[in-house]
Amino acid sequence: MAPTLIGKQAVVIGAGMAGLTAAGALADCFDQVVVLERDILPSEAAYRAGTPQARHVHALLLSGQRALSELFPGFEQDLARAGAVPLRVGLDVRMERPGYDPFPQRDLGWFNYAVSRPTIERIVRKRVESRANTTLRQRCRVLEVLASPNGEAVTGVRYENGSGARETIVADLVVDASGRGALTLALLQSIGRPLPEETTIGIDLGYATCVFAIPDDASTDWKGVMTFGQAPQNSRGGLMLPLEGNRWMATIGGRHGDVPSGDAEGFLTYARALRTPTIYNAINHAKRLDGVARYGFPDSVRRHFEKLDVFPCGLLPIGDAICRFNPVYGQGMSVAALEACLLQTLFEKLGEKGNPIATLAPTFFAEVQTLIETPWSVAALDFAFPETRGQRPADFETTLKFGIALTKLAAEDPAVHKLTAEVQNLLKPRSVYRDPALVQRVFAKMAEA
C-alpha cells in the first residue's frame, strides 16, 4: 500500500539505533524528517561519546537483522560489504551453560552477522542520510520539547546548536529516541501530567571489554563463545564475538560488585576465573588492540506509558526511552528496529483516518506491549540471582525449573533447540512455550529430575 503523508515535519531526538530506524520509518509519511543529535557524527565507523555502550559487544538478533532489512532493503549486503562475519545460528557460537560445556552445536538453518555497533550504526546512518527528505543535524543538543499552552499537543523542540546558539524547530511529531527519555518526562512534569509507572529490575551489572586480533592458530570449532556462570552463586559470564577486520571483541562481567577492573591485567585475571577457560585460553596470547572499556548497568527499566490516560499529541518516546533491557541478552537494537517497523505499520493503518498523529501514541503504546513482552520476560530471569532488586514474579521457582527442563529437551531435540533459538532471537513470542504438547514433554523432563 502506498504510504500516506500524515504531516509536514517530524523531528527525531537522537541518532542512535532507535532514532535512525524511526527516521527510516517516518521518511515516507512526512515532507521533512530532521534528526537532532548532540554528538559529532563520524563519517567512519567510530566510537562517540553519546553511545558509550558501543564499545561493548553488540549482538544483532535475527529479528533485528530482518527488521533492519525491511526498513533498509539491502542492509544485510551492506553488512557483508563492511566485513561483518556471518555466523550460522546454533553452530558457530559455542554456548557454555552449566551442565553443557558446550551446548550441542547444530546448524539451525539461518545465519546472522557479527559486527561492531559503530559499523551497524554507520550503515544505517548512511541509509537515513540518503533519503532526500531527511536531514541529520549533528552537535544539536535538544534542551526541551515544546508544547501548546494547554499542554495538549507538542509543537516542536528547542535545542542548542554547535555554536552554542539556541534554536527552535517546529514539528507535527517529535520522536524521543534520546535513550534515557528524560525530555519526555520533563515535558510531562512541566505540563502537570502524571509520569508513567516504572518497573525496574536491579541487576548492578558491570561490563569490561577488550578487542583482540584473532591469532592465526585460533580454534576452528567456533567463531564466538558465550559462557554463562552458575546462578545463584556465580554471576560471572562472557561473550566473545568476531568483528569486521579479523578481530574478536570480548565482553566479560558480573553482578552486584563482582565486576572486572579497568586494566588489562585485571581483565585477564577476571577472564581466567570465568566458569570455563575457553575465553581466557583464546585471548591469553592474543594481541590486544585497545584499552579496557567498562560500563555499569544498574537496572532494566520498563516505563508503562500504556497506562497513562492522557499523553500529549505529537510526542512519541521510542527505544530505550520506553524500555531498557539487560544488555546480556542482546535485545535493545533489535527491539528498537522492530518498534520502527511497528511505527511503519501504524502509519499505513492510521494514515487512512482523520488525524493519525492524535491516535499514534496511544495506539503505539498499546501495540508495542506485545513486542516488549518476550524480551522483558527474559530479563525477569535475572531473579535467579538473589541480590536482584525488584518484584520477583510469584511463580518464579516454577519458571526456573521449567526453563532448566526446556534446556535439557533442547539439548536432545533439534526441533526444540530451533524453537528456543527462535524465541531468543525474538522471531517467536515466549508464549509458544505454552503449547500443550511441549508443556507435557517439559513436565515429563521435570519429573525425571
Ligand X SMILES: Cc1cc2nc3c(=O)[nH]c(=O)nc-3n(C[C@H](O)[C@H](O)[C@H](O)COP(=O)(O)OP(=O)(O)OC[C@H]3O[C@@H](n4cnc5c(N)ncnc54)[C@H](O)[C@@H]3O)c2cc1C
Segment contacting ligand X (CB under 6 A): 32-40, 130-138, 165-173, 436-444? 32-40
Minimum CB separation from ligand X for residue 32, in Å?
18
Count of Cβ atoms closer than 10 Å to residue 101 Cβ: 14
Tell me: does residue 327 bind ligand X (CB under 6 A). yes
CB nearer ligand X, residue 182 or residue 439:
182
Q: Give the C-alpha separation, 412 to 203, whole Å.
A: 32
**Residue with C-alpha cell 533439534?**
414
Minimum CB separation from ligand X for residue 167, in Å?
13
* Interface pick for ligand X out of 26, 58, 90, 416 (rule CB under 6 A): 58
Tell me: does residue 42 bind ligand X (CB under 6 A). no
Name the phi and psi angles at 268, rounded to 5: -65, -40
Q: Give the C-alpha separation, 440 to 449, whole Å.
A: 15
Q: Give the C-alpha separation, 35 to 40, whole Å.
A: 13
189-207 b/e (C-beta count within 10 Å ≥ 16 → b) = eebebeebeebebbbbbbb
Tell me: does residue 292 bind ligand X (CB under 6 A). no
CB nearer ligand X, residue 38 or residue 303:
38
* Interface pick for ligand X out of 196, 314, 319, 356 (rule CB under 6 A): 319
CB nearer ligand X, residue 158 or residue 272:
158
* Interface pick for ligand X out of 12, 26, 32, 51 (rule CB under 6 A): 51
* Interface pick for ligand X out of 6, 12, 17, 421 (rule CB under 6 A): 17
CB nearer ligand X, residue 32 or residue 209:
209
- Helix, strand, coil percentages in the chain from 3-state DSSP, rounded to 5: 40, 25, 35
CA dihedral (306, 308, 313, 316) in degrees, to 10, reads -40
Tell me: does residue 254 bind ligand X (CB under 6 A). no
Residue 240, C-alpha cell as written in the block: 566473545
Residue 118 preceded by cis peptide, ω within 30: no
Tell me: does residue 336 bind ligand X (CB under 6 A). yes
Identify whether the C-beta of residue 264 lies closer than 8 Å to the C-beta of residue 283.
Answer: no
Residue 288, C-alpha cell as written in the block: 590486544
* Interface pick for ligand X out of 9, 32, 53, 63 (rule CB under 6 A): 53
Segment contacting ligand X (CB under 6 A): 46-54, 226-234, 341-349, 369-377? 46-54
Tell me: does residue 47 bind ligand X (CB under 6 A). no
Tell me: does residue 333 bind ligand X (CB under 6 A). yes
Minimum CB separation from ligand X for residue 40, in Å?
10
Minimum CB separation from ligand X for residue 185, in Å?
12
395-426 b/e (C-beta count within 10 Å ≥ 16 → b) = eeeebeebebbbbbbbbeeeebbbbbbbbbbb
Tell me: does residue 279 bind ligand X (CB under 6 A). no
**Residue with C-alpha cell 533491557?**
325
Tell me: does residue 36 bind ligand X (CB under 6 A). yes
Segment contacting ligand X (CB under 6 A): 50-58, 101-109, 218-226, 260-268? 50-58
Task: State the Rg of the chain over Cα.
Answer: 22
Tell me: does residue 341 bind ligand X (CB under 6 A). no
* Interface pick for ligand X out of 34, 142, 147, 371 (rule CB under 6 A): 142
Minimum CB separation from ligand X for residue 37, in Å?
5
Segment contacting ligand X (CB under 6 A): 105-113, 316-324, 420-428, 436-444? 316-324
CB nearer ligand X, residue 261 or residue 399:
261
Longest dimension (CA), the chain: 69
Is the C-alpha dihedral spanning 262, 267, 269, 273 positive or negative? positive
Q: Are strands 224-227 and 93-96 parallel, antiparallel or unpaired?
A: parallel
Q: Give the C-alpha separation, 314 to 152, whole Å.
A: 9
Tell me: does residue 113 bind ligand X (CB under 6 A). no
- Binding-site size, ligand X (CB under 6 A): 36
Tell me: does residue 26 bind ligand X (CB under 6 A). no
- Residues binding ligand X (CB under 6 A): 13-19, 36-39, 50-51, 53, 56-59, 141-142, 177-179, 207, 295, 297, 319-321, 327, 330-334, 336
